[in-house]
Structure formats: C-alpha cells, structure tokens
Amino acid sequence: MKITTNSNNRQKTGSVLSTRSLAIMAMLAGMSVILMLFEIPLWFAPPFYELDFSEVPVLIGAFALGPVAGVIIELLKILLNLVITGTQTAGVGELGNFLIGCSLVLPATIIYYRKKTFKTAVIGLMVGSISMVILGNFMNAFILLPAYAYFFNMPIEALIAMGTRVNPAIDNLSTFIFLAVTPFNLLKGVAVSLITLLLYKRVSSGIKSIMEL
C-alpha cells in the first residue's frame, strides 16, 4: 500500500511540474511576442530586416528548463504572434524566424547543459550566434528570399534593390547576404546574448522557485 501511494505521489508531482513548466513556457512565449512588437530599423539593411529582442525570453527559458523547452517556447512565440497579428509574409517570415531562432537557442543550451557554468553559457551563446549567422545566410539565399519573391510575384532583383537603396555596395544576391543578412544576424546574436547573460541569473531564480513550489 505504501509503494502504491508513493508511486501515485510521484506521478502527481510529475504532472504538477509538467503543468508548471508549460505555464512558464507560455508566459515566456507571451513576453517574446510583446518584444516582437518593438522592432528597431537598421541603417545597413532593407526595411524588412528589423532588430527585436524576442529571443531573450526564449533563451532564458531554454537555459532554465532545457533545450527542448527552448524549442517549445520558440514555437509558441510564433503561433501566438500568428494568432495576434497574423502574417504579412505568407508564413515565410514566421518559418524563418522559428528555424533561425532555434539555430541560436539549441546550440547555446546544449553546450550549457553539458556543464552549467558562466563560461559554458558564453561559449554556447557564441556558438549559437555563429550558427544563426550561417543558417540565416543559407535560408535567406536559398529559401526565404526566393519564397518572398514567389509569393509576392516579384523578381528577387526587386528585393536586392531594396538593399541597394540603403547600401550601394549591394548589387547582387551574394553582396546582399554578405552586407545585409550576415551583419543583421550577427548583431542580433550578440545583442540578445548579452542581454540574456545580464538577466538570466535573476530571472532563473524566479523560475526555479516556481518549479519548487
């Protein structure tokens, strides 16, 4: 009888913890959606590349709850944003946001979880930022920009011309990727990483206290 009772208690506790984890993930996703509304235009990139800090809550949640939680928060962020604001990119921008966001979050948290120290967090965020730059370049060159051109019935040269207007050195797809997409993702990775490092310790203690209730 004791064994059955303890087993039931463990199952109940696991269920409560799972519910709390999901609640925390939903809360962080909601914060990310709010941050997506505050976009900063950049002088070196066309207007459809704007900097936001929506990956900060995702990274904090992933560091606190694990890499899988980070992917779930990223997905919830995209779904909530679609429900609230809809899409102006036929879903292309949202898909890119999810995949490129995961390319930052997953490497950073996987490395951090091998040995949870400040040093590994920094290394993880550096690797994640580089990963985001690489995947961002690939996706923009071969998937996102061609998809934008297809869905909006416009030549890809028209998108490149938007880059030319802000930087005359951009005159083809390669220079567009090198002079607009690369610095955009690199700047975003560095900025988001620095803010995460500054906030994580304070926020994670609150998350842990909720999980231990």
For residue range 173-193, what is the model confidence (pLDDT) as tens digits? 999 999 999 999 999 999 999
**pLDDT at residue 4 above 70?**
no
Report DSSP letters for 45-96, one per residue.
S-TT-EE--THHHHHHHHHHH-HHHHHHHHHHHHHHHHHHH--SSTTHHHHH
Alpha-carbon gap, residue 49 to 52, rounded angstroms: 10
Residue 2 lies in a domain: no
Alpha-carbon gap, residue 57 to 192, rounded angstroms: 10
For residue range 198-209, what is the model confidence (pLDDT) as tens digits? 998 888 777 777
Confidence label for 100 from pLDDT (cuts 50, 70 and 90): very high
Q: Give how many domains the chain has, as a whole number.
A: 1
Residue 5 lies in a domain: no
* Domain range for 71: 12-211
Question: Tokens 């040269």 appear where?
Answer: 157
How much is the pTM? 0.86
Pairing of strands 40-41, 50-51: antiparallel
Looking at residue 212, its pLDDT comes to 67
Average pLDDT for 105-131: 95
Specify whether the CB–CB gap between 137 and 113 falls below 8 A: no
What is the domain-level CATH number for residue 198? 1.10.1760.20
Residue 6 lies in a domain: no
Residue 7 lies in a domain: no
Residue 153 lies in a domain: yes
First-last CA distance in the chain: 26
For residue range 33-90, what is the model confidence (pLDDT) as tens digits? 999 999 999 999 998 899 999 999 999 999 999 999 999 999 999 999 999 888 877 7
β-bridge mates for residue 50, sequence order = 41
Residue 189 lies in a domain: yes
